Structure 1
Amino acid sequence: MLMAKGESKKKLSLVDLSLLGIGSMIGSGWLYAALNSSGYAGGNTGWAWTLGAIIVLLIGLVSAELSAAIPRAGGFVRYPNYSHGNIVGFVIGVSSLLAYTSTAGVEVEAVRQYALYWWPALGHSDGNPTTLGFAVQIGLLVIFFLLNYWSVSVFGRVNTIITTFKFIVPLITIVTLLLYFNSANLQVPPAPPGGAHGVFTSLTGAGIVFAYLGFRQAVDFASEAKNPQRNVPIAICIAIAVSFVIYLALQYAFMGAVPSDVLSAHGWAGLKAIFQSPYADLARSLGLMWLINLILVDAVISPAGTGNIYLASAARVLFALARNGHLWKSAGEVDEKSGVPRGALWLALILSIAWTLPSEFQVWGGLIGAVTSATVFTYMPGPVTLAAFRTHLPALHRPFRLPMAAILSPLSFVASTLLIYWSGWPVNEILIPIFIVAWVGYALLSRKSPTYKQDIACSWWLLAYYIAMLILSKIGTFDGLNLLSTPLDMIIVTVVALICYYWGAKTSIAKPIIVEE
Structure 2
Amino acid sequence: MADGKLKKKLGLLDLTLLGIGSMIGSGWLYAALRSSGFAGAWSGYAWALGAIMVLFIGLVFAELGASVPRAGGFVRYPNFTHGNLVGFVIGVSALLAYTSTAGVEVEAVRQYAMYWWPALGQSDGSPTDLGFFMQILLLVFFFALNYWSVNVFGRINTIVTAIKFIVPIVAIVIFFGYFKSANLQVPATHPGGVHGVFASLTGAGIVFAYLGFRQAVDFAGEAKNPQRNIPIAIMLALGASFVIYILLQFSFMGAVPSDLLKAHGWHGLANVFNSPYADLARSLGLAWLVNLILVDAVISPAGTGNIYLAGASRILFAWAKNGHLFKALGKVDVKSGVPRGALWLSLILAIAWTLPSEFQVWGGLIAAVTSANVLTYMPGPVSAAVFRKRLPNLKRPFVLPAFAIISPLAFIASTLLIYWSSWGVDELLLPVLMLAWVGYALFAKNDQGKGDVKRAVWLLVYYIALFILSYAGNFGGKGYVSSPVDIIILVIISLVTYFWGIASSYETPVIPEEEDEHQVEYHEGTEAKTA
1:87 alignment partner AA: L
Which position in structure 2 is the counterpart of 1:511?
508
* 2-structure distance, mates of 1:367, 1:511: 37
What does 1:248-267 align with in structure 2 at a 5 Å threshold? 248-267=246-265
Give yes or no for the alignment of 1:476 onto 2:484. no
1:512 alignment partner AA: P
What does 1:423-442 align with in structure 2 at a 5 Å threshold? 423-442=421-440
* 2-structure distance, mates of 1:62, 1:281: 40
Which position in structure 1 is the counterpart of 2:527?
none
What does 1:340-419 align with in structure 2 at a 5 Å threshold? 340-359=338-357, 369-419=367-417
Which position in structure 1 is the counterpart of 2:12?
14
* 1-structure distance, mates of 2:435, 2:136: 30
1:503 alignment partner AA: W
After superposition, give the CA deviation of every residue in 1:245-286 in whole Å (9 maximum; x if it has no partner).
000000111111111111111221111122111111111111
What does 1:30-41 align with in structure 2 at a 5 Å threshold? 30-41=28-39
Q: CA deviation at 1:6?
A: 4.2
* 1-structure distance, mates of 2:312, 2:92: 12
- CA gap of 1:292–1:124, structure 2 versus 1, over 3 A, is same
> Is the CA contact (8 Å cut-off) linking 2:365 and 2:428 kept in structure 1?
no
* 2-structure distance, mates of 1:184, 1:136: 44
Structure 1 residue aligned with 2:78, among 77, 80, 86?
A: 80
* 2-structure distance, mates of 1:228, 1:377: 24
> Is the CA contact (8 Å cut-off) linking 1:204 and 1:368 kept in structure 2?
no
> Is the CA contact (8 Å cut-off) linking 1:65 and 1:398 kept in structure 2?
yes
Return the TM-score normalized by structure 2.
Answer: 0.94
Residue aligned with 2:30, SS: helix
For structure 1, the 5+ residue unaligned runs are none
Which position in structure 1 is the counterpart of 2:134?
136
What does 1:199-214 align with in structure 2 at a 5 Å threshold? 199-214=197-212
Which position in structure 1 is the counterpart of 2:307?
309
Q: CA deviation at 1:361?
A: 10
Q: CA deviation at 1:131?
A: 2.6
* 1-structure distance, mates of 2:449, 2:357: 37
Give yes or no for the alignment of 1:194 onto 2:182. no
Residue aligned with 1:451, SS: helix
> Is the CA contact (8 Å cut-off) linking 1:101 and 1:352 kept in structure 2?
yes
Give yes or no for the alignment of 1:54 onto 2:52. yes
- CA gap of 1:431–1:506, structure 2 versus 1, over 3 A, is same
Aligned-pair identity (%): 71
Q: CA deviation at 1:140?
A: 1.1
Which position in structure 2 is the counterpart of 1:495?
492
| Root mean square deviation of aligned Cα | 1.5
Which position in structure 2 is the counterpart of 1:104?
102
* 2-structure distance, mates of 1:359, 1:477: 30
2:260 alignment partner AA: V
2:298 alignment partner AA: V
* 1-structure distance, mates of 2:278, 2:240: 23
2:19 alignment partner AA: G
Structure 2 residue aligned with 1:443, among 438, 441, 444?
A: 441
Which position in structure 2 is the counterpart of 1:456?
453
* Between 452-461 and 186-195, the greater mean CA deviation after superposition: 186-195
Q: CA deviation at 1:124?
A: 2.5
* 1-structure distance, mates of 2:485, 2:111: 40
> Is the CA contact (8 Å cut-off) linking 2:89 and 2:436 kept in structure 1?
yes
After superposition, give the CA deviation of every residue in 1:402-441 in whole Å (9 maximum; x if it has no partner).
1111111011000000000000000000000000000000
* 2-structure distance, mates of 1:495, 1:137: 45
- CA gap of 1:125–1:189, structure 2 versus 1, over 3 A, is farther
2:306 alignment partner AA: N
Structure 1 residue aligned with 2:245, among 223, 227, 247?
A: 247
For structure 2, the 5+ residue unaligned runs are 515-531
Q: CA deviation at 1:37?
A: 0.8
2:154 alignment partner AA: G
1:107 alignment partner AA: E
> Is the CA contact (8 Å cut-off) linking 2:100 and 2:366 kept in structure 1?
no
* 2-structure distance, mates of 1:507, 1:28: 40
State how many pairs are aligned: 511
* 1-structure distance, mates of 2:5, 2:195: 47
1:424 alignment partner AA: S
Which position in structure 2 is the counterpart of 1:421?
419
Which position in structure 2 is the counterpart of 1:337?
335
Structure 1 residue aligned with 2:144, among 143, 146, 153?
A: 146
* 2-structure distance, mates of 1:360, 1:437: 24
> Is the CA contact (8 Å cut-off) linking 1:207 and 1:369 kept in structure 2?
no
> Is the CA contact (8 Å cut-off) linking 1:106 and 1:367 kept in structure 2?
no
* Between 313-322 and 286-295, the greater mean CA deviation after superposition: 286-295
